[in-house]
Structure 1
Amino acid sequence: MADSFHSLTYHLIWSTKNRTACLSEMLQPRLWEYLAGIAHQKKMQPLCVGGWFDHVHALVRLPPNLDVSKAIQWLKGPSSKWLHETFPHELGAFEWQDGYGAFSVSQSQVGEVFEYIKNQRQHHRTKTFQEEFVAFLERHGIEWKPEYIWG
């Protein structure tokens, strides 16, 4: 019997390069499904994947032997390659932004974060990705530089 227990749930957020709005509504469900598939393949548990035209949100549980930066690398790298191969005319020059946000989520907040990700369409009627991301950084007490957010 194992004597180690863990609940390592993260809300991961990353954007397209220069926050280009290139993730069309037609493409989004396929991308969310592809990202969830990568997560499963890499032994992560995807609870919810979503986003909007210029960014992705992923609520995932990580195994204890997988650090967050490696999880992000595994999600962004193959998905970028898949986007290039699947949509060569529309997304031939596609890139993800280099950075990302990773925020720990307590079990009591998983449902709230899940709903937040599912309601991106409604949320982004009034808020840009940059405004949303700054709110996350400030809520979590993370210092940030404007040039990294506003370009």
Structure 2
Amino acid sequence: MSNTYTQIYIQVVFATKGRNIKIKSEVRAQIEKYICGIFKNKKQKVLAIYVNPDHVHIFFSYKNLQIAIPELIKTVKIESTNFINEKNLCFGKLSWQEGYGAFSYAKSQKDKVINYVLNQEKHRSKKNFREEYMEMLNAFEIEFNNEYLFEFYDD
């Protein structure tokens, strides 16, 4: 679209189905690179990504409004699942849980969010995924139904 200018920062979080398929740390970089390629093909720019053993954080600059966020995340999930399973990067077949969290940030928060995403290992030592995700939902004042949250298990 001509004369349309946007700059929107979004962090997306989604988890493995059942959270019982663990993504091994030695393949993390390979999966991150592949997911970044999906975003690039959709004309989006990943600013930070971290693939945890059972969930993913992606912070990106949402510029091309010709693809809706739900369509983008659906594509990322489908294509990354196919890649991970075709390359046998996990024990068993990986699939992602339904849904995701998407959180918007101001440009002034960009560096802080990049740092947060890239330092997931450090955060994992302080709080588990459930605590982290619930904290994000509450901080953004997002109403939710516990029935529809990710499947959480004790970390």
Spell out the pairing of 1:86-125 with structure 2 (5 A cutoff).
Answer: 86-87=87-88, 90-125=90-125
Unaligned runs of 5+ in 2: none
C-alpha distance in structure 2 between counterparts of 1:150 and 1:16, whole Å: 9
C-alpha distance in structure 1 between counterparts of 2:115 and 2:20, whole Å: 25
Identify the residue that residue 84 of structure 1 maps to in structure 2.
Answer: 85
C-alpha distance in structure 1 between counterparts of 2:57 and 2:150, whole Å: 19
- Structure 1 window deviating more from structure 2 (59-68 vs 33-42): it is 59-68
C-alpha distance in structure 2 between counterparts of 1:43 and 1:91, whole Å: 32
Deviating 4+ runs (over 4 angstroms): none
* 1:148, distance to aligned residue in structure 2 (A): 3.0
* 1:66, distance to aligned residue in structure 2 (A): 1.7
Counterpart residue type for residue 83 of structure 2: W
Aligned residues: 149
Q: Secondary structure at the match of 1:48?
A: strand
User: Percentage identity across aligned positions?
Assistant: 28
Unaligned runs of 5+ in 1: none
Give me the TM-score of the superposition, normalised by structure 2: 0.89
* 1:4, distance to aligned residue in structure 2 (A): 2.1
Question: Is the CA contact (8 Å cut-off) linking 1:8 and 1:64 kept in structure 2?
Answer: no
Deviations 1:130-149 (A, max 9, x none): 11111110000111222333
Q: Secondary structure at the match of 2:103?
A: strand
Identify the residue that residue 64 of structure 1 maps to in structure 2.
Answer: 65
Taking a change above 3 Å as real, the CA distance of residues 150 and 32 of structure 1, as seen in their structure-2 partners, is closer
Question: Is the CA contact (8 Å cut-off) linking 1:9 and 1:106 kept in structure 2?
Answer: yes
Spell out the pairing of 1:46-65 with structure 2 (5 A cutoff).
Answer: 46-62=46-62, 63-65=64-66
Q: Secondary structure at the match of 2:49?
A: strand
Give me the TM-score of the superposition, normalised by structure 1: 0.91
